[in-house]
Structure 1
Amino acid sequence: MIQTVLGPIHPEELGVTSMNEHLVADSAKFLRPAREPAPAEPRMAVEHLGFVRWNYLGLRDNLVLDEPEVTVAELRHAVGLGQDAVVEVTSFGMGPDHAALPAISRASGMQIALAYGTYIARSLPDWVLTATEDELEQRFHTALEVAVPGTAYRAAMLGLLGTSAEIAPVERRALRAAARAAARAGAAVSIRLDASARLGPTVLRILTDEGLSPDRVVFSNVDKVMDVDYVAEMGAAGATLEIAFGEESYFGDGSKDATDAERLRFLLALLERDPDHSIVLACSVWTKGQLGAYGGMGYGHLVGRIVPILERQGVGPERLHEMLVARPRVLLDRP
């Protein structure tokens, strides 16, 4: 069965799925000084899009998803394009609001599966920083097997678990605790790797040493590192590789996202290198500037634009079905 915020469903009831989205989030802890004066109006607006794309972490309101009516409208649009489900991966450190998700699912018609976890060390609330490994494992176990605290539904998987360029002690505790809890529950775990390091094999070893099978590990946003050899090594070890499309902004001097054209070439290179790699896709919307209402690509970008390009590039229907439907079903399904 696959756990959604509206209750369990059979795997065959899950259609086209984005494996990494944020619907209600607060990432204001990542605010940094802009490279130019910020707009006088502190609220995000379409006219601020140029500023935001050049200073992506420079406007606090851009880093907060706090308008459920906008989220619902954008999800409805994605449903109309043929998308069926999203995995909501907002973990502690990014301001999750788990109780708000059932109403969003009902109003939008989008199935929502929750990933429950803790993000990178510098973003974490005090209760995570001081929690023991056993306490974190029990919290993860409760979310998977009983209910997500404050809700009546269970998590489908664990994530998004954050790791820094040098894995912090609290991040290591969370990795080990999540691996044990997920192994007990038959669940998958999604991992955020720091783009400035090459720690994928190390993180995978930490997880498997605690009993988690590599095929239950998802490395998210691997498009942050355009290194086919490095990423393919994780795929060859059995982990799932997730590529997220739709954001092409600058974070600072010499620091920017890849373009979708680059991501598409990267994905096609991975598929050519090993057609059997386990790959899933997403948009990883986590800011207002990525929403259609504010001039971004929106949650529907994956199905509405990226999938048609992949079809034109010769990616066949069976491979697309594997990435968009079959693999998400396998990762989210558990006893």
Structure 2
Amino acid sequence: MSLAIRTVLGDIPPEELGTCDAHDHLVIGTPLLPCQELDDAEAALAELTAFAALGGGAVVQWTPWGMGPRAEELPDLSRRSGVRVISATGLHQARHYDHDELESVRDGLVELFVHELTSAPVKAGLIKAAGAYHRLDDHARHVMTAAAEAHHATDAPIGVHLEAGTAALDVLDFLCGSHGVEPHRVILGHLHRLPDASIHRQAAEAGAYLAFDGPSRAHHGTDWRLLDSLTALVDAGHVHQILLGGDTVTSTARSTADGPGMPFLLSTLGPRIERELGPDIASAIFTENPARAFAAQWRQP
């Protein structure tokens, strides 16, 4: 069975993915950010077009079930921009959902995830789960258990929101140690929000992919440590496990509004990585690593 990346326009060989924003959002909504939803398809298209103009080839949207993923709109955005889009199933932290809405799917998460990965009109290519701050709460454990089962049924990669960058090793212990997920099938997100080089190294040594995102207004206090974190991992021999994304979650964070948005990855961060770490390192981070991290030997349960 050959490896493929599942995009909203269908499966592609990994080598066709191109330069990738490995963690971002085209559409998303949460009651925690009222009136700041990403719900404008034309604005999303403008952001994708700006990213493509700089050589961007793919964006991984980590917006899960129940947070307005609007999967039916993503194929058109992908076609019009020329950027490949990978969408997500899964669940975020409980606080992002109405209680009754969450209870309506709680006992059927595996079936929900597998359906969105294999049978939905627009198929997801990633399962998202989320930890709590410095721990895994009951909701996180429930969702991650379902994510692990859906992974075993389909081989889909699992992306994990680490709250403020914390609990990375707890996540790996739970998913890999308790539920048999191979570490290289796990992508740990938001690691630059806790620039602890020791934790990053241990997560990399375990075999996981490490996703850094930014810049971020909410976490600007650690943005300046991003290159230090990348350098430490490169020096420790883990360049092939690093991913980068923009994680745009509000309309004002877009480049077409008041933020650096997706283009920042290629207009500013990419050239800096090339200068400070070398073009081969930049190529690995933006192109080669995502092609491996998001590829799967897709199974149909």
TM-score in same-fold range (> 0.5): yes
**Map of 1:223 onto structure 2:** 192
* Sequence identity percentage: 30
Q: Is residue 108 from structure 1 mapped to residue 81 from structure 2 by the alignment?
A: yes
Distance 2:205 2:103 in 1: 33
Q: What amino acid is aligned across from residue 146 of structure 1 in structure 2?
A: S
Cα-Cα RMSD: 1.8
C-alpha distance in structure 1 between counterparts of 2:286 and 2:242, whole Å: 9
Find the aligned partners of 1:190 and 1:258 in 2 and give their Cα distance: 24
Q: Which amino acid aligns with 1:30?
A: L
Deviation string for 1:131-179 (max 9, x for gaps)? 445x1111111122222xxxx23211211x1121243322211101101
Q: Residue 30 of structure 1: SS of its match in structure 2?
A: coil
- Aligned equivalents of 2:76 and 2:109: distance in 1? 28
SS state of the match for residue 243, structure 1?
A: strand
Are the equivalent residues in 1 in contact too, given 2:8–2:85 (CA < 8 A)? yes
1:206 partnered with 2:206: no
Give the AA of the match of 1:156.
G
Q: How many angstroms does 1:261 deviate by?
A: 2.9
Aligned match of 2:254 in 279, 291, 299? 291
The 2-side partners of 1:116 and 1:237 are apart by 25
Tell me if the contact between 1:90 and 1:116 (Cα under 8 Å) persists in the aligned partners: yes
Q: CA deviation at 1:22?
A: 0.5
Supply the distance in 1 between the matched residues of 2:82 and 2:142 (Cα, whole angstroms). 37
What amino acid is aligned across from residue 244 of structure 1 in structure 2? D
Task: Give the distance between the partners of 2:183 and 2:192, measured in 1 at CA.
Answer: 20
Deviation at 1:89, TM superposition (A): 0.6
Tell me how far 1:93 sits from its aligned partner: 5.2
Query: 1:224-250, CA deviations, whole angstroms, 9 ceiling, x for partnerless residues?
Result: 101111121111111110111222x25
Corresponding position: 1:320 with 2:282: yes
Structure 2: gaps spanning 5 or more residues: none
- Specify which of 96, 99, 103 is matched with residue 123 of structure 1: 96
| Alignment counterpart, residue 61 of structure 2, candidates 72, 84, 88 | 88
Q: CA deviation digits over 1:56-113, x for unaligned, max 9?
A: xxxx33x211221111112111101001000011123533211121121122221101
Decide which of 27, 30, 34 is 2:32's aligned counterpart.
30
Separation of aligned partners in 2, 1:167 and 1:124? 18
Secondary structure at the residue paired with 1:292?
coil
> 2:295 aligns to what?
333
Aligned residues: 291
Question: Which amino acid in 1 is paired with 2:293?
Answer: L
Normalised to the residue count of structure 2, the TM-score between the two structures is 0.90
Runs of 4+ in 1 over 6 A off after TM superposition: none
**1:275: how far off?**
3.8
Q: Aligned letter for 2:296?
A: R
- Amino acid in structure 2 at the alignment position of 1:20: H
Alignment of 1:63-74 (within 5 A): 63-74=36-47
Residue 189 of structure 1 contacts residue 217 of structure 1 at CA under 8 Å; is this kept in 2? yes
Which residue identity does 1:262 align to in structure 2?
R
| Residue 111 of structure 2 corresponds to residue 138 of structure 1 | yes
Tell whether the 8 Å contact from 1:292 to 1:298 is kept in structure 2 after alignment. Answer: yes
Structural mapping, 1:107-256, within 5 Å: 107-125=80-98, 126-129=100-103, 131-132=105-106, 135-147=108-120, 152-159=121-128, 161-165=129-133, 166-195=135-164, 198-208=166-176, 209-247=178-216, 249-250=217-218, 256=219
Amino acid at match of 1:332: F
Q: Report the Cα distance in structure 1 between the residues aligned to 2:11 and 2:142, rounded to whole angstroms.
A: 29
Distance in 2 separating the partners of 1:216 and 1:226: 22
Could you list the runs of 5+ residues in structure 1 that have no partner in the other structure?
32-59, 251-255
CA contact (8 A) 1:141 1:185 kept: yes
1:158 alignment partner AA: I
Question: How far 1:258 moved relative to its partner?
Answer: 3.2
Report what 1:4 is aligned to: 7
3-state SS of 1:3 partner: strand
Q: Please give the secondary structure, in 2, of the residue aligned with 1:333.
A: coil
Rounded Cα–Cα distance in structure 1 between residues aligned with 2:67 and 2:119: 23
Give me the whole-angstrom Cα distance separating, in 1, the residues matched to 2:126 and 2:231.
Answer: 28
Tell me the SS of whatever aligns to 1:87.
strand
Q: For the residues of structure 1 that align with 2:238 and 2:29, how far apart are their CA atoms? A: 37
Structure-1-length-normalised TM-score:
0.82
Contact kept, 8 Å, 1:228 with 1:269, in 2: the verdict is yes
Q: Cα gap change, 1:178/1:299 in structure 2, threshold over 3 Å: closer, same or farther?
A: same
Say which of 232, 235, 238 aligns to 1:269.
Answer: 232
Q: How far 1:287 sits from its partner (Å)? A: 0.8
